[in-house]
Amino acid sequence: MSSLTLKRLAMRIFFVIEVIVVLLWYFFGKNGIQSMMKLQYEQQLLEREKMSFCQEVTDLQKKIDEWKVTPFLKEKVAREQLQMAREGEEIYYVDSENKGDNSMSYPYKLPELPYAHDALEPYIDERTMHFHHDKHQRGYMIKLNEALSEWPEGQNRDLVEMLSHPDQIPQHLRKKIVDNGGGYWIHTLYWNNMEPAGGGDPTGKLAEAIEKSFGSIAAFKDLFSAQARSFFGSGWVWLVITPEGNLKVSSSVGHELPQKEDNIPLLVIDVWEHAYYLKFQNRRAEYIENWWQVVNWPEVEKRLLAQL
């Protein structure tokens, strides 16, 4: 066979391969790209559903059923996401058997909010309250109960007393109990430190004690706000009463209790981002200013009087 014939044969083979590649691309490659784009689109939609608290899982199921998606998408993506949505729903909708018990004993229950989720609007928004109470505090409660299920002795101990002496907790459970027990207990105080008709300035014995320790109500508020604004990371800022009977502003990282240092908390603000990010994003100072509008001063005074 001459070299010219070989060259022509090679060109024909190359042409046939090229046609096959183009045809494969047209029938499969194009669909593959479309599937990928559809996959991304479906994921975005489902993510949005998830972000909207998964309130309408039934509707989400309906949407998935209506979508003209491939079996792959339905089985591998949509169902997985639906399951996540259902899990979210399970957490979001607090079951009646597992809330409303404020007795603070094992197994711990999710305490009722002392007001409706939207009652602190426009200062603290309803959406944040749902996430904060129904998800975050509930999550701490679940993990606290999980940890204590492995330590029967701790089940009968007073929660604050236990958290004040973490060295007495078995080492392998210590961090889990301190983090989640603290998160569980402090959030209950935080809810009660707020009320829809709150704000203004303290009065009575509380006002007298604050003026004695800080010079004036305004000076105390400035100091407290400054500490809350400048606190680095996730934690809490407190007004506490010391064993000597003085009031002071302090802060704690994570979920540590002031009782660990023998101080009794009177007032607390949550400066974890989950407390304000949905409404205020990075504007923590704005959150603090709004929070002052719902502070429950009578409750703070009650806590003070219990220590005098």
Nearer to Fe ion, 237 or 275 (CB): 275
Nearer to Fe ion, 38 or 99 (CB): 99
Q: Are 187 and 270 in contact (CB under 8 A)?
A: yes
State the nearest-atom distance from the C-beta of 229 to Fe ion, in Å: 17
Q: How many residues bind Fe ion (CB under 5 A)?
A: 3
**Contact map string, positions 264 to 283, toward Fe ion, x by CB under 5 A:** ------x-x--x--------
Q: Establish if 238 lies at the interface with Fe ion (CB under 5 A).
A: no
Nearer to Fe ion, 169 or 186 (CB): 186
Nearer to Fe ion, 42 or 270 (CB): 270
Nearer to Fe ion, 92 or 151 (CB): 92
Nearer to Fe ion, 190 or 220 (CB): 190
* Chain residues 4-33 in contact with Fe ion, contact rule CB under 5 A: none
Q: Are 172 and 265 in contact (CB under 8 A)?
A: no
Q: How many CA atoms lie within 13 A of 212 on its CB side?
A: 10
Going from the C-alpha of 101 to that of each of 97, 108, 112, the distances in angstroms are 9, 8, 7
Query: What 8-state DSSP symbol labels residue 104?
Result: -
* Chain residues 127-186 in contact with Fe ion, contact rule CB under 5 A: none
How many Cβ atoms from other residues are within 10 Å of residue 291's Cβ? 24
CA torsion angle for 148, 152, 154, 157 (degrees, to 10)? 120
Nearer to Fe ion, 270 or 299 (CB): 270
State the nearest-atom distance from the C-beta of 187 to Fe ion, in Å: 6
Copy the structure tokens of residue 262. Answer: 């023998």
Q: Is 236 helix (H, G, I), strand (E, B) or coil?
A: strand
State the nearest-atom distance from the C-beta of 274 to Fe ion, in Å: 5
Three-point CA angle 302, 187, 117, nearest 5°: 95
Helix (H) or strand (E) holding 213: helix 204-214
State the nearest-atom distance from the C-beta of 269 to Fe ion, in Å: 10
Please name which of 56, 300, 109, 59 lies closest in space to residue 201, comparing C-alpha atoms. 300
State the nearest-atom distance from the C-beta of 183 to Fe ion, in Å: 7
Going from the C-alpha of 204 to that of each of 117, 197, 201, 213, 291, the distances in angstroms are 29, 18, 10, 15, 21
State the nearest-atom distance from the C-beta of 137 to Fe ion, in Å: 7
State the nearest-atom distance from the C-beta of 140 to Fe ion, in Å: 9
Closest residue to Fe ion: CB criterion: 270
* Chain residues 80-99 in contact with Fe ion, contact rule CB under 5 A: none
Nearer to Fe ion, 179 or 270 (CB): 270
State the nearest-atom distance from the C-beta of 132 to Fe ion, in Å: 6
Three-point CA angle 270, 253, 236, nearest 5°: 20
Which residues contact Fe ion by CB under 5 A? Answer: 270, 272, 275
